Amino acid sequence: MEKKDKKQRDIVLSQDNALTTARYKFDLIEKRALYSIIRNIRAQYIENENGRRDLFDDLIITIHEEELKKCGDNTKMQNIYDALKRLRNRDIEINNEKMWLSIGFVNYVKHIKNKSYFEVQVSKEVLPYYVELAQNFTSYSMTVAIALKSTFSQRFYELCCQYRNAGFFFYTVEKLREMFMLEKKYKRGCDFKRRVLDDPQKELRELYNAGQCDLYFEFEPKSYKGKEVTEYKFYVYTRQTEQQKLLEYESAKQAIIYITTTISRFSKSDKGYVKRVVNAVQLHPEIAVQVAQKIQKKFEQYIDKPAKQIGAIIRVCLMEDFGIE
């Protein structure tokens, strides 16, 4: 009975924010396949304590037929083939301050018919975005994400999870059109609001009220150009569940592992300092993610400096921002 209950629990996974806000548009079958890929990557590289997170090669993943057949009442195998072909041919485009990247997420797809599963290969170029404890990351429930009927609902669920701690976020209509690849659709503001904002809001709120979703969102216009809305403000509403508590625990746990590894690397001669830092974040796990983000930011900012100097910079930063001496 215990094993059965364990299988039925929500699967918690992390997704880098660069991918959450990337420019792409998947249908429901493609999105379900993508979630399965993310889940497998997390199991192999994040949850596996013996996994190496700095060495990457192309990764082969299996997806069972039933996972993709559940996308609709009459999902036919040809529809799945067509969706997976689209997934193989699509690019995920990431364009931020650090870099521009256009990459095919799946290298190939193979259906092993006699064993009822699909084999997909994921490029080594995209793996680090899901594996590393990045400065910005999103955690969300696989069960909720897959259950959503609309791809717009899935995207807004991911965005809401990204900003759940802040409680709100802003996006211009232009940016949303770019992210969802809607430059040529829903030209009228009322159509955009109804299809892209109102429908996902309604679906998430209904699931939340039914106890099947951990959050929902509300929104209001923030900026106008004449009578046309050019920017919206979104408010995220959450419920503290056991799953959310587990999520926060796992996030803190991963952050502490990163802190321990990094501080040890740059303070090899002062084991006492390493112990003091780890003890400080263990006593106050609510700051663990912030400390990890700060350390990574300083490391990236001064990556060309000698290790000893980076260690000194991190030490000053932790003392000034968190009182850790």
Domains of the chain, by residue range, sit at 12-140, 144-239, 242-322
Does the pLDDT of residue 9 top 80, yes or no?
no
3 state SS of 9: coil
pLDDT tens by residue, 102-156:
888 788 999 999 999 999 998 887 777 655 432 334 455 666 776 788 889 988 9
**Residue 258 DSSP SS3:** helix
- Confidence at 246, pLDDT banded by 50, 70, 90: low
- 12-140 matches 144-239 in fold: yes
> Can you read off the two tokens belonging to residue 38?
């993310």
Report the CATH fold assignment for 144-239. Arc Repressor Mutant, subunit A (1.10.10)
Residue 53 has a pLDDT of: 53
Distance of alpha carbon 122 from alpha carbon 222, whole angstroms: 39
Most confident among 13-17, 97-101, 109-113, 182-186 (mean pLDDT): 109-113
For residue 247, give both structure tokens.
């999520």
Q: What is the pLDDT of residue 307?
A: 84
Instruction: Name which CATH class applies to 12-140.
Output: mainly alpha
Q: Contact 71/53 with Cβ under 8 angstroms?
A: no
